[in-house]
Homo-oligomer: A and B are copies of this chain.
Amino acid sequence: MSTQTEFTALPGGICAPRGFAAAGVHCGIRRNQQKPDLALIKAEVRCAGAACYTTNKVYGAPITVDREHLADGYARAILVNSGNANTCAPGGLELARQTCRLAGEALGIPAEDVLPASTGVIGQPMTIEPFAAGIPAAAAALAATPAGSRAAATAIMTTDTHPKEYAVEFLLGGKPCRIGAIAKGSGMIHPNMATMLLFLTTDAAADPAVLQAALSRVVPATFNQISVDGDTSTNDTVMLLASGLAGAAPLAEGTDDYETFVAALTCVAEHMCRELAGDGEGATKLLECRVTGAPDLQTARAVAKSVIHSTLFKAAMFGADANWGRVLCAIGYTPGDFDVSRTSVRLQSDAGEVFVCENAALHPYSEEEAARVLAEREIRILVDLGDGEAAAKAWGCDLTYEYVKINGDYRT
């Protein structure tokens, strides 16, 4: 077994893998000229592509176009705007197609190799003019450098407080390969099949079906385990493009190299989950729930997500209040038939650990010690159900005044 499971982070985000350039510009979808609102990612070669989309029955026009353009398994560019979700918007589908044509012309590639994505307000009309000016500008600014990735990561932000990118390196058949990512999150984050917008690049080689299998294996354990506010967005999209330019042999399922690729993809995905949850709208704390001792994987995932999704527990974490009864309550209303009577709960941070609940009842602890542990920015909630071997993680954030402020008046 030569599967690699530890990875080294690299700078460069989506431009770290060979064959990808990126850019971000302001084109006028947003009124604020300081805020870039259009990102472009271009691959040197036609790439195998894989994607997961929201399961919301109301979904953005770009997702319809993505499904068409990825039907053959290949693509070469991703075009993303912030400021308008192009969802429930009049003429949205035609507009999405038109943006692909403009990008195809600017890049000298077929419109069918462009994958569009949008994020922002739902139901507002959108015009082609900002794209007509912005796409050529973005094409001219493309750079296969860390600055290119950073510009794209910045242009896709909505209420995010900072751009999110990551990259790791690993070996496939002795050849160094890379996976890079950028993402935007913040609000309307309760993904089902994918998170808000997350774009992955790799220079590993794979057929589209193998790439999709790898992505579909990683998404349920990672992006579907985040929740900021329980609202599954209409535009959730995860995309992965593989250029193959690292020179490694194409991946095949069931091999050590494939497992290494999945492990690297999981590593990048978990990192981005922490980034997305920790920068949830108004968040002051990142919450990571680690469930062990569950009877099966489904229960482990559901319990972890239920805890970090509990409004009451999220508010308690904002107040640094060790109100573990709310953890038990959230475990108890998780769907499924499992035993709660042997549940233990520990609250952990870099400042220490408090053992607050044993066998579903109070385990005596010091409130002072708990307050010290909960004062940290990152809190781990360790739940052991004592009822099996399955484990899972989920990521969320606290519920704050700022969340209410941001969402009480998002459009103005």
Contact = CB atoms under 8 A, between A and B. Distances in A.
A122 interface: yes
Interface string A395-412: 000011101111111111
A323 B411 contact: yes
Interface string A77-102: 00000000101111000000000000
B85 A411 contact: no
A141 interface: no
B401 A90 contact: no
Interface string A315-336: 1101101011110111111100
A277 interface: no
A281 B408 CA distance: 17
A239 B331 CA distance: 25
A145 interface: no
A333 B229 contact: no
A192 B333 CA distance: 9
A237 interface: no
A357 B230 CA distance: 23
Given A56-B333, A122-B326, 18 more contacts: A57-B332, A57-B333, A58-B332, A58-B360, A88-B325, A88-B361, A121-B325, A125-B362, A231-B329, A234-B332, A311-B407, A312-B407, A315-B407, A318-B404, A321-B409, A321-B412, A323-B410, A399-B407
Interface in A54-89: 55-59, 85, 87-89
A289 to B, nearest CB: 15
B231 A360 contact: no
Q: Which residue, of A309, A329, A331, A408, has the highest number of chain B Cβ atoms within 10 A?
A: A329
Closest 8 CB pairs of A and B: A122-B325, A58-B332, A319-B408, A315-B407, A123-B325, A56-B332, A232-B333, A229-B311
Given A57-B332, A231-B329, A319 B409 contact: yes
A408 B333 contact: no
A168 interface: no
A357 B88 contact: yes
A125 B362 CA distance: 8
Interface string A113-143: 0000000011111000000000000000000
Interface of A: 55-59, 85, 87-90, 121-125, 187-188, 192, 229-234, 309-312, 315-316, 318-319, 321, 323-326, 328-334, 338, 340, 357, 360-362, 399-401, 403-412
6 contacts: A87-B325, A88-B360, A122-B325, A124-B325, A188-B312, A231-B311
A323 B323 CA distance: 34
Nearest to A188: B312
Given A56-B332, A328-B122, A332-B59, A408 B187 contact: no
A324 B310 CA distance: 25
A127 to B, nearest CB: 14
A404 B410 contact: no
A11 B263 CA distance: 66
